[in-house]
A = this chain, B = another copy of it.
Amino acid sequence: MKIIVDAFGGDNAPLEIIKGCIEAKKELGVDIMLTGDRDKIEKCAKDNSLDISPFAIKQADTVFEMTTPPTEILKSKRGTSLGVGLDALASGEGDAFVSAGSTGALLVGGTLIVKRIKGVKRPALGAVMPTSADPFILVDTGANVECTPDMLCQFAKLGSLYMEKIMGIASPRVALANIGTEETKGTPMLVETYKKLNVLNGINFTGNIEVRDIAFGEADVVVADGFTGNVIIKMYEGVAKSITNQIKAIFMKNLLSKLSYLGIKSGMDEFKEKMNYKKYGGAPLIGVRKPVIKAHGSSDAYALKNAIGQAIKYIDSGFIDIVSQLMKDGENND
């Protein structure tokens, strides 16, 4: 099994990416091919005394900048570490592609270079997130700003399959993100989606979920259009960070408060580990023909290693074959 990794994606590239690959090789025993400028990768490794001899490197002279329009990945920016990685995946030089680079470029390139599974309307970004109980997947977290009810029904199926096959949850509870639990709540698009989900075979639809209940783990799959999903994930991130920062500041206030921290340190460490979304890896681009994983832009070595681990699980689960078969069987909600 070989994972292709964009060595120049994200805020901490290439150093943290290389480190993450070394950890993944060691812990997970996987082959890795880095894409990017060979000289820069080798210099970075040398400067930091890192052994990259086990890795293949596929040359890419440039990097896809965050400010570049995503569609350029198909044109002027095909030769970037991101474009070269997508092409290598599409042509079978590896089994999955992991990048912490531009989400937009990965979406466009994933959809049009790696291509959609036949029958999938629009690929979606999923993100597995922690809660005070068990984790859930949110689909879509931002790939499709505007959606139709049929798209949301596919997201529901794909998200449910993901939780079942990759996260090992039997009969995942699928809920539609909404502003009330009653089936009449929300926009006309959501009211229509509710009706369709309610009669959709093959998923365990539990109805609308008030977004206030998401952080308590009341659903295994939360379905949303990409705009709403992005608001949910970013509010989650922002509020969690704001609250924990404020509490951290309380502990740092004086000697007594610092001492107090010692009495709950083990509990706080467990809490931090529980809520650390980095352990789940990145956001899979669900619905394309080969595994494409978007790692968080701020990925460190730990996050990147976990994104590689997630890619391995994705491959091992046979998820893509299962989705392809499902689409072939005409069970998709057309």
Which residues of A are in contact with B by a Cβ distance under 8 Å? 131-132, 142, 145-146, 177, 179, 186-188, 210-216, 227-228, 230-232, 234-247, 250-251, 253, 256-257, 259-264, 267-268, 270-271, 274-275
Contacts of A267 in B (CB 8 A): 250-251, 253, 257
Contact in complex: A242, B215 (CB < 8 Å): yes
Given contacts A211-B234, A213-B238, A243-B244, whether A187 and B227 have CB atoms under 8 Å apart is: yes
Residue of B nearest to A265 (CB): B260
Contact in complex: B262, A238 (CB < 8 Å): no
Contact in complex: A212, B235 (CB < 8 Å): yes
Ordered by A's residue number, 28 sampled pairs between the chains whose C-beta atoms are within 8 Å are A131-B242, A132-B242, A146-B187, A179-B227, A210-B234, A211-B231, A212-B235, A212-B241, A213-B238, A214-B235, A215-B235, A215-B242, A228-B228, A231-B232, A235-B239, A239-B239, A239-B240, A240-B243, A243-B244, A247-B247, A250-B264, A250-B267, A251-B264, A253-B264, A256-B263, A257-B264, A260-B260, A261-B264
Give Cα A102 to B245, complex, Å.
Answer: 35
Contact in complex: A271, B247 (CB < 8 Å): yes
Contacts of A211 in B (CB 8 A): 231, 234-235, 238
Contact in complex: A231, B234 (CB < 8 Å): no
Give Cα A138 to B263, complex, Å.
Answer: 39
Contact in complex: A145, B187 (CB < 8 Å): yes
Contacts of A253 in B (CB 8 A): 264, 267
Q: How many copies does the complex hold?
A: 2
Contact in complex: B216, A238 (CB < 8 Å): yes
Contacts of A256 in B (CB 8 A): 263-264
Contact in complex: B245, A132 (CB < 8 Å): yes
Give Cα A81 to B134, complex, Å.
Answer: 43
Contact in complex: A238, B257 (CB < 8 Å): no
Contact in complex: B243, A186 (CB < 8 Å): no
Contact in complex: A212, B186 (CB < 8 Å): no
Contact in complex: B242, A271 (CB < 8 Å): no
A231's partner among B177, B245, B261 (CB-CB below 8 A) is B177
Contact in complex: B234, A236 (CB < 8 Å): no
Given contacts A216-B242, A250-B264, whether A231 and B132 have CB atoms under 8 Å apart is: no
